[in-house]
Amino acid sequence: MSLLPCVVVVEDDAGSRRTLARVLRAGGFEAASYATAEDYLAAPPAEPPLGMVLDVHLGPMSGLDLQRRLRRAGSTLPIIVITALDDPRAQQQAESQGCLAFLRKPCEAETILDLLRSITPVTWETECTPRVTNVQ
């Protein structure tokens, strides 16, 4: 069991998934990474995560479908939704399901970390500065 807060990453692009995991670790979080929504549903982390970074366009279940499914199941897990497309309809859907933020790729690493720190119930005193400034 890690002492760091766990953040779930669901991102189908392997490079983006690795980058997000590195950013999270550099920012003081544990990353549980999944390529698909189905992978996450089949084997979620053993401990409840602090939050989730969720790509919109996954397959076959979309990120918005996963968000909706989690909400219907009663989850209040904070979700940061990321997408490469400028899609107002997707943004409206994500926000109507209570996302913490809807970000367009590439997004600043510090933006994601600041959002996660805002929901972390501990005082942050870290010397870790992410070396990656953008998430593709």
What secondary structure does DSSP assign to 42-65, as a single string? Answer: HS--SSPPSEEEEES--SSS-HHH
Answer whether residue 135 shows pLDDT above 70: no
Residue 72 has what pLDDT?
96
Q: What is the mean pLDDT of residues 77-93?
A: 95
Residues 63 and 55: beta-carbon distance below 8 Å = yes
Q: What is the mean pLDDT of residues 64-90?
A: 96
Residue 81 has what pLDDT?
98
Structure tokens at 25: 């670790």
Confirm whether pTM is higher than 0.85. Answer: yes
- pLDDT, one tens digit per residue, over 11-56 is 999 999 999 999 999 999 999 999 999 999 999 999 899 999 999 9
Q: Which fold has domain 6-135?
A: Rossmann fold (3.40.50)
Length of the chain: 136
pLDDT tier at 65, thresholds 50, 70, 90: very high
Give residue limits of the domains in the chain.
6-135
